[in-house]
Amino acid sequence: MKPLTVLFAAFLLPALPALAADPWGKADAKAGQAKHAEKCVACHVKMYGGDGSKMYTRDGRMLSTKLDILQRTAACNSQVQAGWFPEEEAEVAAYLNQHFYKFKD
Ligand code: HEC
């Protein structure tokens, strides 16, 4: 191996998993599911029927990245005064991606 290759392996490769990390870190999607059910679902159900998830899967939905989900969750949190801390927003965003959006980045 050339010295540069060794350098790359030693310093850059360990950083890659960090780059691919979710914007919500290791937030617990299960906890987010309960919060979402409590504060968010009813209104989406009123609009789309069923379990309301069509809001997230409809044509022309507004979000296209994980960061969008996190930001939208934060905006909705303050709009509907759910009173969540950022960690709780992160849990809900993680839940929404795991179950509905399934974005890779
Ligand atoms: C008072 C009714 C209401 C409540 C409560 C509500 N929402 Fe929404 N939500 C909406 C409406 C209306 C839209 C669609 C806005 C649009 O299409 O321009 C929306 C859209 C969204 C979207 C984007 C959907 C897309 O296009 O991909 C997300 C994500 C979302 N809401 C999350 C939440 C979360 C999280 C909560 C709980 C904190 C919440 N909402 C509570 C009415 C509500």
What is the average pLDDT score of the chain? Answer: 90
pLDDT tens, position by position, 3-12: 666 656 666 5
Burial zone of 73 (CB within 10 Å; 0-12 exposed, 13-18 middle, 19+ buried): buried
**49 has pLDDT over 60:** yes
Taking CA atoms only, the protein residue closest to ligand 1 atom 37 is: 40
Taking CA atoms only, the protein residue closest to ligand 1 atom 11 is: 44
* For range 55-81, the mean pLDDT: 97
Q: How confident is the model at residue 43 (pLDDT cuts 50, 70, 90)?
A: very high
Percent of the chain with pLDDT over 70: 81
Q: Calculate how far, in angstroms, residue 84's C-alpha sits from the geometric centre of ligand 1.
A: 15
Residues with C-beta less than 6 Å from any ligand 1 atom: 36, 39-40, 43-44, 55-56, 61-63, 72-73, 76-77, 80, 82, 92, 96
The two tokens of residue 64 are 């296209």
